[in-house]
Amino acid sequence: MKYRYCYICGTETVSKKIDGRKRSYCESCGIPLYENPIPSVAVVLTEPDQRILLVRRSVEPGIGEWCLPGGFIEIGETPSQAAVRELKEEIGIEIEPPQLLSVGSHLNGYYGDVLIIGFSADINPDDPLVPGDDVSEAVFFPVNERPRMIFRVHEEFVELWQRRNE
Ligand SMILES: [Zn+2]
């Protein structure tokens, strides 16, 4: 159970079985404290020669490993806005609003369960890439010669993009 204390009133929670599952329950507020996956975005960025842009992570989880650029959606953002912001922060480029590709999950990870909204977008290979704090490198790879990525769901997004663009 994630919540030892109620995030509304601060009272210590109790464990209570509700709807067949043990949940944190606040007896003061009289409500279960539901746990939900964290929404995030990932972007399959490709240039006209079908090369894909991957980033090498400089933070946990998966430090030193490759993955798609992306990150968590912040309060007040749409998923599309989060994707645009994350690309600006991680690799220093501005993209047009991306296309929805698919939705997947990463379960029991470093941050718990994460819901990942996958987008695709075009990138100009001549745009200068400026890796931000969360990544050590941003590199174009021919899509069939890319390194293995740390998140299975990112692989699934790329495989889906490939099937649609063959
Ligand atoms: Zn409470």
Q: CB of 129 within 8 A of CB of 92?
A: yes
pLDDT in tens, 89-109: 999 999 999 999 999 999 988
Residue 79 is predicted with a pLDDT of 98
pLDDT in tens, 69-94: 999 999 999 999 999 999 999 999 99
Confidence grade of residue 1 (pLDDT, cut at 50, 70, 90)? low
When the pLDDT of each residue in the chain is averaged and rounded to a whole number, the result is: 94
pLDDT in tens, 42-55: 999 999 998 999 99
For the chain, what are the domain ranges? 1-34, 38-165
- Compute the distance from residue 15 Cα to the ligand 1 centre, in Å: 13
Dig out the tokens for 163 from the structure. Answer: 């099937």
The topology under which CATH files domain 38-165 is Nucleoside Triphosphate Pyrophosphohydrolase (3.90.79)
- Compute the distance from residue 40 Cα to the ligand 1 centre, in Å: 27
- Inform me whether the pLDDT recorded for 121 exceeds 70: yes
**Which CATH number applies to 1-34: 2.30.29, 2.20.70, 3.40.50, 1.10.238?**
2.20.70
Residues taking part in catalysis: 137
Q: CB of 105 within 8 A of CB of 37?
A: yes
SS (H, E, C) 89-117: HHHCCCCCCCEEEEEEEEEEECCEEEEEE
Residue 2 is predicted with a pLDDT of 78
- Compute the distance from residue 37 Cα to the ligand 1 centre, in Å: 21
Per DSSP, the three-state class of 131 is coil
Dig out the tokens for 125 from the structure. Answer: 């290979």
Domain 1-34 and domain 38-165 have a common topology: no
Per DSSP, the three-state class of 28 is coil
E-strand ranges in the chain read 14-18, 21-26, 31-33, 38-46, 51-57, 66-67, 70-72, 99-109, 112-122, 135-142
